[in-house]
A and B are shown apart, each in its own frame.
Chain A
Amino acid sequence: KQEVTQIPAALSVPEGENLVLNCSFTDSAIYNLQWFRQDPGKGLTSLLLIQSSQREQTSGRLNASLDKSSGRSTLYIAASQPGDSATYLCAVAQGGSEKLVFGKGTKLTVNP
């Protein structure tokens, strides 16, 4: 059974800092990996999708990497801003099934 772990559970940083969120998964036979952002009580916003054949994806100040063999992904956020404060969720789609298995998220607070 696929298990997804995110470390740290919570992170508080000053504005302008670069930061890394970590995600690990137990079964490397994944189809793809998605990073989401969720504001309190709101829906999930897709940030980046990495296919299993890819190593990284970039969108603006965000960069996500994938090391499938070691079961790890990182989300790098450059020059963090208070508006980046949210919970960031990592989710993997298993090969043969499109359903997403989520980690419990990292709650990020960027202080002005």
Chain B
Amino acid sequence: AAGVIQSPRHLIKEKRETATLKCYPIPRHDTVYWYQQGPGQDPQFLISFYEKMQSDKGSIPDRFSAQQFSDYHSELNMSSLELGDSALYFCASSALTMDSVSYNEQFFGPGTRLTVL
């Protein structure tokens, strides 16, 4: 079965640089979520999109922005990178309704490991 695809899998950047992370949700899923997992930490919600509109926002820094495109893929843009941004960034997708049943099980991608030097 198709899974959530994230690219790149690994990314190394210098401080103050920018980074763009991409996420391709499972086909027919209408909601995309971004989470950040720091070393030894639990995942923290950043932002979500439902049908290409921002649906919820968590502890996402102002330096970060995200969007969902017409083909449902999403990009997380990160500017003025700081050492503390080094983390695993996960994208997840879900279908709020499927066959008229409220569902919303979130399926996670493999993550992008961002290292800021």
Contact = CB atoms under 8 A, between A and B. Distances in A.
Given A43-B90, A46-B106, A99 B42 contact: no
Contacts of B90: 43-44
Nearest to B104: A98
B81 to A, nearest CB: 21
Contacts of A51: 102
A72 interface: no
Contacts, number: 61
B42 A105 contact: yes
Contacts of A89: 42-43
A109 interface: no
What is the interface of chain B mostly: helix, strand, loop, or mixed? strand
B68 interface: no
Contacts of B55: 98
20 contacts: A31-B104, A32-B104, A32-B105, A34-B106, A36-B108, A42-B111, A43-B109, A43-B111, A45-B108, A49-B105, A51-B102, A89-B43, A98-B50, A98-B56, A99-B33, A99-B45, A99-B56, A100-B33, A102-B42, A104-B42
Interface of B: 31, 33, 35, 41-45, 48, 50, 55-56, 58, 88, 90, 92, 94, 96, 102, 104-111, 113
